[in-house]
Structure 1
Amino acid sequence: MPTTSTAGRGPASVAPAAAPERLGVLSAQGKAPYRFTAEDAEWTARFVIGESGGRDDPDSHAVVWAMFNRYALLTRPYYRTFNAFLRAYSTPLQPVLKSWGASRRNMDRADFVRTGGTFGPPAPPGIPRGQRRAYLDLQRRPWAQLPSSARSVALRALGGAVANPIGNATEFGSTYVYFHDANRRYPNPDEWRRFTEQYAERMGWKWIGPVPGLDQNTNTFFVQRRLAALPVPAVRVLAG
C-alpha cells in the first residue's frame, strides 16, 4: 500500500485501496451539516489532479477549500451531493465542457474529443463542443489507480485534517493565464497584481491578497463581496 506524501509537501499518511465509508462533516453556521461520502472522496481526488496537478501542496489544499466554501455557502441547494457539485463546476470533471472559452483553449489539442455541435452566442462562431481525452480518462479512473498524493489530500481534507489557507474564498482561476489570453504574453509581477485586482473589481469580488507559500499564478483566489460580512472561516470540516 503506497505512502501518499511527497517529501516536503505534507505529513506522511497512507491512502487505502478504497475510499473509507465514514469521513468528516461539512459545517457552516445556519446551514444543515453535510457528511462526506466515499464517492465524494473519489471525485475530490480527481478534482485535485485536474485542477492542481494532484500534488499534496498548498495549491491543492486551497482549491479544495474553495470548493468546500462554495458548496456550503452558495450551491448546496442545487446539488444533492458534494461530488455532483464538483463534476458540474470543475472543467476537468465535466463530460462536455460548459465554457466556450475553455473549449476554445483546448479545441486544437490532439486529444480534444468533439461531441457534436458548436457554442452559440456570445461565443464566436465555430467553437466546437467537446472535452479533452485526458480529462475523460481521469473521470473514469478508479480510486486505486489515482495518484496516492491526490488520494491523501482528499482523505485528509474531507476528514478535517487540512487547514484552510484562503478564508471564505469561493472563486478561483488563473489571472496569469487570463492576462495571457488578453495580451498574448505573460505579465510581470506588477502587471499581474494590477490585472488581478481589476479583474476582481469587475466581477464584484475581492482578491484574498498574498498568502505565504501559495503561488497564485497557478490559481488565484477571490471572496465574493456579499460574503464579506461573514466570520472567517465561515465553513469548517469536523472530524467524523
Structure 2
Amino acid sequence: MEENLTIIGFDADDTLWHNERFFQLTQAHFAELLADHADRNHLMERLLAAEKRNIQYYGYGIKGFVLSMIETAIEVTDDRVPAHVIRQLIEAGQDMLAHPIELLPFAREAIEAVVDTHRVVLITKGDLIDQERKLAQSGLGDLFDAVEIVSEKTPDTYREIFLRMGQGPSAAMMVGNSMRSDVVAPIQAGCWGVYVPHGLVWEIEQAELPIAHPRYREIRDLGDLPALIGQIP
C-alpha cells in the first residue's frame, strides 16, 4: 500500500553544510608532506585503501581520517616517517575539527519549507562529538523533530528510523549528496531517494545512479526541494 509522504530525512555533511572540501585540502597538505616518499596518485591510493580498512575500527569522520593518514605515512616511509610530519597531520585534523560551519545554499530555507507539513529528521554518520558540534554551530538543530547520528547508513538503518518516527519507509523521503548512503540505501529500504549533487564526493560514497527506479529523484540544489515535495502525494 502506498503511503502519503509524511517524513523528510536530511543528510548533513555536503548536503546542509560544506565538509568534503576540508578533507581534500588536508589530503593536498598530506601529499606535500610525503612528496619525498611517494607521488601523489600512489599516496592517495594507499590512503583510500587505509580508510576502507579502518572504517570497521574507527567509523567515519575526521579522527579516523587522521589515523589513516598516519598509518599511510608510516607505510610509505617504511616506518621512518619523521615525528614532525605526524605532528603536522594531527594538527591538520585538529584544524578540521575546529573549522566553522558554512551552510550550503538554501539549507535553512528547504528545512523551514517543510517543518509545518512533515516530520523532519537529520540522519548523519560520523564521529558523535564532531557531528553534534557541527549541528550546534549550524543553527539548524531546533528545526528537526529528531537527530540520528549513526555508524552506518544501511537500508535497515532507514527502516528502523522511519518505522520509529511514523508509518515507515514508504512514507519517507531521504535527501542527500552521497549516492550510496543517502539515495541508494533509502530506496532499497522503500523510501524516496533525492540526490542533491555537491561536486565533491568521497570515492567510497560513489554508486550507480538508480535512474530507472520510480522513487529516485534528482534536484539541482535544495532550493528545488519544496517544489519536488509538492509533486509527491
Whether these two folds match at TM > 0.5 is no
- Structure with the higher fraction of residues in helix conformation: 2
Q: TM-score range by the shorter chain?
A: under 0.3
Which has the larger Rg? 2
